[in-house]
Amino acid sequence: MVAPLATRVELLLFASGEAPEPQATIELDQRHRSGDYWHVEVEGIGLGTCYAYRVFGPLLPGGHGFNPSKLLLDPCARAISGWEGYRRGQAIGATPNTGTALKGVVTERDRFDFSEAPRPRHSWQSSIIYELHVGGYTHGEGSPVAAKHQGTLLGLIETIPHLKELGITTIELLPVMAFDPQDAPEGRHNHWGYSPLSWMAPHPGYLVGSDPLEARHQVRHLVRSAHQAGLEVILDVVYNHTSEGNQAGPSLSWRGFADHLYYQQNARGDYLDVSGCGNTIAANRPLVRRLILESLRCWAVELGVDGFRFDLGIALSRGEELAPLDSPPLFEEMEADPDLADLKMISEPWDCGGLYRLADFPAQRVATWNGRWRDDVRRFWKGDERSCWTMAQRLAGSPDLFNNGPVRPGQGITFLTAHDGFTLADLVSFNGKHNLANGEDNRDGDNHNTSWNHGVEGPSSDHAVTALRNRQLRNLLSTLALSPGVPMLLMGDEVRRSQGGNNNTWCQNNPLGWMHWQPDQGDRDLQTFLRRLLHLRQRLAPLLNSEQPSPHWHGVELNKPDWAAWSHTLAWSLHGSHGQPLLWCGMNAFSKAIHFDLPHSASGWLRVIDTGLPAGDDLPEHPQPWEPPGAPLESRSLMLLLAPSLMQDADLLTGPMGSTLS
């Protein structure tokens, strides 16, 4: 345990996590420390023993520092107990909180058995990520998950067949490290989990049963089941801040051990905040880095996960006084660690302090979320002016954002939607956010959504409106599948899951934030379209994700792209080594149908996608030859033609084991 400025430490042992008083108190003094570390060996301690600390020491500038009236959770505890009696508010002030504090639990630290369930190790080129919330994805009317498993890690195992059928390779879980559900306004609770209480222990709300010793076994069971099904598991991790808030927040763990060490502060002791949550972790400091790296190894080596997505990850590159570092030591040590060397690492390249580093993200092996891709693709299909040129850049792999050089597979994550923002169905159904249910008078959530309701705000019975919305869903998803990069989908987008226009459901543990498990015919049609589209993506990935994608740009006429501000049409083709066209794609974001000229293909063309056609015909199971001399595209539609040579080895829409998806 690290407490550099502490003068004395007490280790308290409890009969249970809910016990109001300790069974024993063990005093640690200077004999029990080595430099910044405090340690003691206690005989007779076994698995399941509950414990906590009191730490004594001087106050720091601004009144921060040690508060021995508060019990502290061990930052390295692999399991936690005491949730029933936990009261966040009692960790503030000078009143003792012995009966309402969380306790660590002594547990095993075994390694994951990779011989039984080896990592799938999907290449970046072939990866398709699906972001989901464990609790939200396993709940909902019609859920395939047994009632006793809904909302849990074990329940997620029961959804693996659905995920496999869809064609994804990698599931990305919103935070599953223990978080504080009480870190929310009165009357609400934190549902998403971006309020960490521990970087080591699994969240108890996602477990079946109340035995804290079962937590790690259940995580391993999920990871093992996913691996055996060929799916990777990536965790969304929050190392940029904790649930302790600013200097007026509760003393739960980190603050009580080393307030000045873990948090960025100014000379007065005021907390510096680029997380938007009251504090910022000082990830540049050696002892803090050591704890974060231990957490990563805990989940990767002991529990078997395949990678991490770093929430506001660029904040971890800040040094003293929040100065951006070109060579942040945390990422350098991550990339040099043999236990982490073959994992998928993903980061948001922005933080709430305005730092945004996409192409120059200061870690070579970390992929970044390409928020510009999301915004520019939305703008094009929405029909905004000055959107054709930027759309072309996104379809070419965003070279303008990556120093005009080749973009490596795995360097950028492309996505249309994520947990933070509108779902795909809401993106085409609402012009503005509708977050009143969050209790903040619609002030929360992003105001910049680049959405379009297509004439009616919210649900509509107008056939023309719903037909256009459904076409736009297919346009957006097709663009995602046909773009270089690593595509990421949001849970439920395949069945038009709506949040009623709420773009910030962080506190909505109810149908608003749950999966949509009772699809109607239109939902099922989109699901079929996406299944086929993802298998098409897998077949075309080597062509789309080459080191130097070089599309030939066209407009309605060959080799004459229209980059004018008012243009809403774009076409592009990819050619083989001998110059023969292999792929042609036309995109018409205009309000009227337009005829496009086609490049000559000696072997003809196969029409694979045409979003202007009815469901089922828009991406048919068996593509048909395309004979007309040109390509008439309906208003706001996309067409993809392929050379027959790309389909010689196997049907483009045939899934694993030769089973044709329908």
Catalytic residue positions?
Answer: 311, 348
CA distances 401 to 372, 377, 390, 398, 566, Å, are: 9, 15, 10, 5, 23
Residue 258 phi/psi, 5° resolution?
Answer: -160, 70
Three-class SS string for 440-474? CCCCCCCCCCCCCCCCCCCCCCCHHHHHHHHHHHH
Q: Report the 10 Å Cβ neighbour count for 27.
A: 11
By the 8 A CB rule, do 167 and 127 touch? Answer: no
Pairing of strands 103-105, 80-81: antiparallel
Collect all residues with Cβ–Cβ distance below 8 Å to 229 and sequence separation of at least 6: 160, 164
Q: Please identify which residue in the block is written with the tokens 């256009």.
A: 468
Diameter over CA atoms, the chain: 87
Helices (H), 366-520: 371-382, 388-395, 424-427, 463-481
CA dist 641 and 618 (Å) reads: 12
Q: If we measure between CA atoms, which residue out of 535, 440, 446, 439 comes closest to residue 487?
A: 535
Q: Pull the structure tokens for residue 290.
A: 């050591």
Handedness of CA 353, 357, 362, 368 (dihedral sign): positive
Bridge-based pairing state of the strands 412-415 and 366-369: parallel
Residue of 139, 142, 128, 126 lying closest to 523 (CA atoms):
142
DSSP readout, 54-115? EEE--B-GGG-B--TTS-B--TT-SSEE-TTT--GGGGSSSS--GGGS-EEE----PPP-TT
Lookup: tokens for 110: 């075994």
Residues 6 or more apart from 398 whose CB is under 8 A from it? 370, 372, 373, 407, 412, 484, 485
DSSP reduced 3-state for 290: helix
Residues 6+ apart with CB under 8 A from 219: 153, 176, 202, 303, 304
CA end-to-end distance (rounded Å), the chain: 56
Q: Which sign does the torsion angle of CA 557, 559, 565, 570 carry?
A: positive
Tokens standing for residue 74: 């061990």
Give the residue among 590, 633, 627 at the shortest CA–CA distance from 613. 633
Q: Tell me how many degrees the CA angle 93-99-102 measures, rounded to the nearest 5.
A: 85
Q: Give the ranges where 141-197 is alpha helix by DSSP (H).
A: 153-157, 160-166
| CB distance 253 to 74 below 8 Å | yes
